[in-house]
């Protein structure tokens, strides 16, 4: 299997606190990877290192065989890494369509009628076509989550990182977002999903990695992960 992302021995510290201590991850092209762990385990820190929100870490990150460790976030986006945020961050002064035109303009270099048509296709796929010209600060929580995924898709990613895209959603809404993620994966996009809703992670992921206290404590198929005593200890305590 071809590797799309390789995280080599990444260490990230905040002052005296070590958030990640020597994390190694390999992600394969087209894979659906689940990233789990209790609060404070380093999941978001790891994806911040991958997406380029943090560049002051030790170790190396390779994407499509190239070292991207020193690249800024926008350069990584141009290489094909897109993400959504744990707390949605819409461009609230813009409409939903305009939100999508930002990556079209800055990644693709164009935001004309053709791109608007493409944006509309993405929004239709997310069930947001009727909200295209609504101000993004008027959206509901689930619509915001979908819009973030749509905006990430407008950057034409090869790797999509979904950071708790289902947090705060109802069971029905979780299924909607899961369906969207499955559809995106079918388009050939590799997806890393960070999620606290275990049923969703287990349903979606082909492989799951569990982090605890900045270290990977185990990885494997969803079935093996749920039975792993290390994972149970991390979540439930001794």
158 near other proteins, rule: CB under 8 A: no
Number of residues in contact with other proteins, rule: CB under 8 A?
Answer: 29
Structure tokens at 3: 């590797």
Q: Which two tokens stand for residue 171?
A: 């069971």
Structure tokens, 114:
């053709």
CB of 2 to other proteins, least distance (A): 25
**Which of 43, 83, 131, 145 contacts other proteins by CB under 8 A?**
83
- Our finding on whether 70 is near other proteins (CB under 8 A) is no
Q: Which residues in the chain belong to E strands, given as ranges?
A: 3-14, 17-28, 32-36, 58-63, 66-67, 81-83, 159-163, 190-194, 207-212, 215-220
Q: Which of 41, 45, 69, 77 binds other proteins (CB under 8 A)?
A: 77
Which residue, 148 or 212, has its beta carbon nearer to other proteins? 148
Taking CB under 8 A as the criterion, which residues in 162-201 touch other proteins?
none
Residue of 34, 37, 42, 90 interacting with other proteins (CB under 8 A): 90
Task: Write out the two tokens for 194.
Answer: 């960070």
Stated as kind and residue range, the H or E segment containing 45 is helix 43-51
| Cα within 13 Å of Cα(115), Cβ side | 21
The two structure tokens encoding residue 207? 């492989």
Segment near other proteins (CB under 8 A), from 112-120, 149-157, 179-187, 228-236? Answer: 149-157
Residues in the site for other proteins, rule: CB under 8 A? 51-53, 72-74, 77-78, 82-83, 85, 89-94, 98, 101-103, 105-107, 111, 151-152, 154-155
């Amino acid at each position: 299997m071809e590797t799309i992302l390789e995280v080599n021995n990444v260490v990230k510290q905040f002052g005296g606190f070590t958030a990640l201590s020597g994390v190694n991850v390999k992600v394969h092209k087209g894979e659906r990877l689940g990233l789990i762990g209790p609060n404070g385990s380093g999941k978001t820190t790891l994806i911040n290192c991958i997406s380029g929100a943090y560049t002051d870490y030790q170790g190396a990150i390779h994407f499509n065989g190239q070292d991207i460790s020193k690249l800024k976030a926008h350069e990584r986006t141009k290489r094909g890494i897109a993400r959504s945020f744990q707390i949605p961050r819409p461009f609230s002064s813009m409409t939903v369509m305009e939100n999508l035109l930002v990556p079209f303009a800055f990644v693709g270099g164009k935001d004309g009628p053709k791109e608007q048509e493409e944006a509309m296709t993405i929004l239709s796929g997310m069930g947001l076509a009727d909200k295209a010209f609504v101000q993004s600060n008027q959206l509901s929580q689930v619509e915001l989550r979908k819009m973030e995924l749509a905006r990430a898709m407008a950057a034409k990613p090869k790797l999509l990182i979904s950071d708790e895209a289902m947090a705060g959603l109802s069971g029905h809404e979780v299924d909607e977002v899961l369906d969207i993620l499955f559809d995106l994966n079918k388009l050939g996009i590799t997806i890393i999903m960070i999620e606290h809703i275990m049923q969703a992670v287990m349903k979606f992921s082909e492989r799951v990695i569990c982090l605890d206290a900045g270290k990977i404590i185990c990885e494997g198929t969803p079935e093996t992960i749920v039975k792993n005593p290390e994972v149970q200890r991390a979540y439930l305590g001794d």
